[in-house]
Structure 1
Amino acid sequence: MRVARTHHRCARRSVVVGKPKAEPRASWVDEETFDAKKKRASLILRRLEKQYPDTRTALNYTTPFELLVATVLSAQSTDKMVNIITEKLFQKYRSPEDYLKAKPGELEQDIKASGFFNQKAKSIRGLSQKLVEDFGGEVPGTMEELLTLPGVARKTANVVLGNAFGKNFGIAVDTHVHRLSWRFGFSDHDDPNKVEQDLMKLFSRAKWFKVSHLLIDHGRNVCFARNPNCADCVVNELCPAARVPAVRKRAKPSPSA
């Protein structure tokens, strides 16, 4: 079943990196109880939901398989570049079988602009073969089955499950989610899988899908890797890594009588 192609603003690189250990955080976060952290996390989420009411994936797709391929291509690349590539790619390759029929080097050339194209082409061919052999050419709808596909880890599986199937099996942790999880004091881990587990404990399962998108949006628009715009941050006073006080708009003085 094909669904309407989704569109959203462009993204920065979606590669997971280590947490910004050099960045200082307020000492109170180390003494915060789990219940207090969970309450603060809920407050942060509510404000981000208000700030980004239309949050969604930045990748364009019409089927679960297209989203799977796009997510594989997004590693070490940008959503903007991936969307440029897939505009033509998805017209040329419409099924797993189509990727398997590609001539040697042809797929690599088609996705070259995404970077690391040899490994990505290998993953796409591998997952296409697995889908044809074990799943009738269809993308499976469970975490366990998706993780059997070559080149698919929890982040990719979470993106596909949440966006294409509307299922909350976990939280996709990219570079923005990783960075903000450290700054907010939600997780101190380097391993994205452990960061995911920490986040899953803080938020209700019904919110897992939205947590990832909201943290990504905030990371792209305000909480930059370098020089975060703390002055305009809607959760400034709730963040232990805030660098400057939030700027509050002053009420206009009443005109003199």
Structure 2
Amino acid sequence: MLRRLASQRILEIRQSFRQFPQPSRSFSTALNYHIDGPDNNPDLPWEFTDANKEKVKEILTHYPSNYKRSAVIPLLDLAQQQHGGWLPVSAMNHVAKIIEVAPIRVFEVATFYSMFNRTKVGKYHLLVCGTTPCMIRGSREIEEALLKHLGVKRNGNVMNGLCSNFALFDFGCCVNAPMITVADYSNGSEGYAYNYYEDVTPKRVVEVVEALRRGEKPPRGTQNPNRINSGPEGGNSTLLGEPKAPPCRDLDAC
């Protein structure tokens, strides 16, 4: 009797979930597992460039020789920079060979951290912060403005791969919310940059995208002309002078 009731309850739960929209295959594929394709399969040759091979050697010196596996994140990051902002499975296999671990150990890292892209992105990868402070300050409106201007849905590419968009959480820049980051893969690993654009508005993010499209480098940091870095709008109102040093007792008098 109890088993029949449990089975009936499970069936009811399954049916209730069917009313919600299901994620697309392409979205789930990008996040959860790998399917071989003509431009992403383990048979494609991949290795670091000569310049990056030197960087690999330097990275490995940061860790004991019997803990080379600890270099997996910086090596994956370098591979992603070299490969235009995303990691094909052959690049992950190459990293596994360098640090002498089974490929699955590298796959586990690459699929866990959202900073690693396993599908193609644009030369400029736009990341919109959507955590609570940014949301309160209008991050949803900023994302809507970007998607409308680019003419894509979230996680889409546009302008012949020039820009791509993705929503992410918590960049640790809450005092300058709302903000976006732009990962610049336009010049490979040598010219790679990862810049914050803070205090943005829907109008300003569109201007940033257009500047990138023209090949310009818009000024990073706060986009509010009335702020300096993370200082208050209009300038400081406290701590205007040099702080006094704390009093020190005369140790010789003790």
User: Which of the pair has more CA radius of gyration?
Assistant: 2
Q: Does TM, scored on the shorter chain, surpass 0.5?
A: no
TM-score range relative to shorter protein: under 0.3
User: Normalised by the size of structure 1, how large is the TM-score?
Assistant: 0.27
Q: Which has the higher strand share?
A: 2
User: Normalised by the size of structure 2, how large is the TM-score?
Assistant: 0.27
Q: Which has the higher helix share?
A: 1
